[in-house]
Structures are given as C-alpha cells and as structure tokens.
Amino acid sequence: MRSLRLLALLAASGILIAACSDVGSLRSTKPLLSTVQDFELLLVGNLEADYIGDENCLKKCHTHDRISRDFKLSIHGDQISAETGLPLVNCESCHGPGSLAVANISPEQACNSKSLLPLHEFPAAAQALICLKCHSAASTPNLTNWNSSIHATNEVSCFSCHKLHAGPQQKLGRNEQYEACIECHSRVEMEFAQFSHHPVPEHKMACTDCHDPHNSSNSTNLRGIQIKAVCTKCHMEYQGPFVYEHADVTEDCSVCHSPHGSPNDNLLEVGEPFLCLQCHAGHNSSFMSAGALHDTSRKQAFYSRCTDCHSTVHGTDTPTVYGEGSFLAR
C-alpha cells in the first residue's frame, strides 16, 4: 500500500516538473513544489514586448484615465529614481512590458490587455513577488518573512488587501480594515457583532492595533509577545506588577476576556459568577469575618457578581481590612 502511494507521488511530481514551462500549468501546481525561480520566470512577461513608459502606454487610449489620475496622486506615482530622475514605479512595473498592448489600436479602443501579465491568474506567491521585488527588507521589515506568514501559506496575496486602483491610497486605511478583513474572517465578524465588543466595527479601533497583517513571530500575528503586552498598550492601569497579584492569572488576559467580542458584559469569556467558580469555590456569609457583610442588601447579589465585593481582581497595591490580597474594595 505504502509503495503504491509513493509511486503515485513520484509520477505526479514528474508530471508537474514536465509541465512547469507555461503559465497555465504552473497555476495548477502546488506552491510547495514550485521554486521562487519559477515565479520569477512568470514575472518576466511577454518576451516579445518592450517597455515603453507610461506616456506611450496611456496616450493611445483613455479607458484608464481615472486609474492613471489616481496613480499620479499616489505614493507609487510619487517615486522618482535618484539616479535617472525617471519614475521609479510605473504601470509596467507591475503589469509587465506594454508595447504589444498598444500596438495598432485607435483612441476609441481599449488596449490589448491579454499581452500584459495576467496578474489575477497568477498563483498567490507570484502575485506577492511582484510587490516584493521592491518591498524588500529595508522598506517594510515585517515583509521579510512574508513567505512564512499564515496569509502567504494560505494563498492570500498582497492585493487581496491592497486594492491599488480603488483610489490614490495604496495602504489599507484604518477605516477600511474591518470591512476588508471580515470578508474572509466571518467568524471574527460574528465575534464583533456580540453585545460587548471592542469598537472595531465602529472604526474607533482597527485590527492592526493588535495584529500585524503581514507577519509576526508571535502567535496569531499579535503585536506583542504575550496577549497581556498587547492589551496593556491601551489598558495601562492593569500592567502591574502589583503588591497583591491574582497569582499569575492576569498574565494572560484571555483567561477571562475574549479579545474581539462576547455576549457577556466587559468582554468576559464566561459571565459572573461562573467565571470565578471555574477556579474557586463559592462561599457564604458565615465564612466571612464579622462586619464583612454589614450591608445586608449585598446578600442578594452574592452569587451574581463576585466583583461587587472583589472589585480589584486585576491586582492591587492596597490592602483591605478584610484580609490582604482578597481583592476587596477598601
């Protein structure tokens, strides 16, 4: 059985290697079997076409007037090469040489785009390479490891997020992130639709406050070594260290909180008192020292909200009369 499978695998990879010479079959191979060189070959484009520059590309037809206007206003359109004084990025930097596309067309016609690079048909890794040939380590450090990122390995490419011709802006803005990201992350959308949530759908916060969309060495691309480091960037009052720590429980805020959203108050994973009862036994008034329950109205609240009394579960520097480190209000 095992040798049969091995044979089938060998045969399959033979076919793949034999078929690597044209675009169509490369697309159908698995990226694992293709090398970066294969993708680089794809990007060379039509060998019979020449680079002719934006002006020659665009003067013959006006179909792309809006795109070229936006492009001129964009950061890409702004880049001038220090050595030559010529534009560093032009239409052909991404679309490949254009002479054949505009040969023999009249102003009423659209260009012959079939002779340009079929960008949208490329495998994701080749699409990314178009951008990475310029966006190497120096300009955007976290793109260095793009190829090992969870997005790259799941065939998400740069232009799944960067809609370069939607307007002059080339970056995915903070106000657009929520909509762009949930297009693929529907579970995250459901989480943010819950009663208690971080105000990301309201655009007061963005996914990139907590995640790096390109890659990071932390789990789930977080912008902090541990979850606590991410949270205390904004919620500094809980950073500690405190004289009375809640053991090491608060080292991971997600023990008690859902980072995106939750049906419970305060983004709690589990509502009170069950949140606390996961780790503690409850107790009743006879357990408490005299005076702790002087306010009898508290008796009703007893098992609904432990934090009515233990209000400093995040840690505190202040001892209380009822016992040090019980996280009670003074």
Per CB under 6 A, contacts with ligand HEC among 232-261 are 232-235, 238, 246-247, 249-250, 253-257, 259-260
State yes or no: residue 307 binds ligand HEC (CB under 6 A): yes
The CA-CA-CA angle for residues 67, 131, 147, to 5°, reads 145
Q: Which residues of 12-21 are buried (b: 16+ CB within 10 A; e: fewer)?
A: eeeebeeeee
Rounded Cα–Cα distance for residues 148 and 155 (Å): 11
| 117 CB-near residues (< 8 Å, 6+ apart) | 42, 43, 45, 94, 95, 96, 130
DSSP 69-81: HHHHHSTTTT-B-
- Which range binds ligand HEC by CB under 6 A, 8-16, 27-35, 36-44, 75-83? 75-83
Is 75 near ligand HEC (CB under 6 A)? Answer: yes
Question: How many residues are recorded in the chain?
Answer: 330
The answer to whether residue 327 forms part of the interface with ligand HEC (CB under 6 A) is yes
**Residue 12 Cβ, how far from ligand HEC at the closest point, in Å?**
25
* Other C-beta atoms lying within 10 Å of the C-beta of residue 254: 14
Q: Give the shortest CB-13-to-ligand HEC separation in angstroms.
A: 25
Candidates 45, 97, 131, 215: give the one binding ligand HEC (CB under 6 A).
131
Q: Measured from the CB of residue 103, what is the shortest distance to ligand HEC in angstroms?
A: 16
If the CB atoms of residues 23 and 222 are measured against ligand HEC, the closer one turns out to be 222
Site for ligand HEC in 9-68 (CB under 6 A): 54, 64, 67-68
Tokens encoding 95: 């679309």
Measured from the CB atom, the residue of 2 and 291 that comes closer to ligand HEC is 291
156-215 binders of ligand HEC (CB under 6 A): 156, 158-162, 164-165, 170-172, 177-178, 180-185, 187-188, 196, 198-200, 204-205, 207-211, 213-214
CB 93 within 8 A of CB 79: no
Choose among 170, 162, 101, 158: nearest CA to 130. 158
Q: Cβ 120 to ligand HEC, closest distance in Å?
A: 3
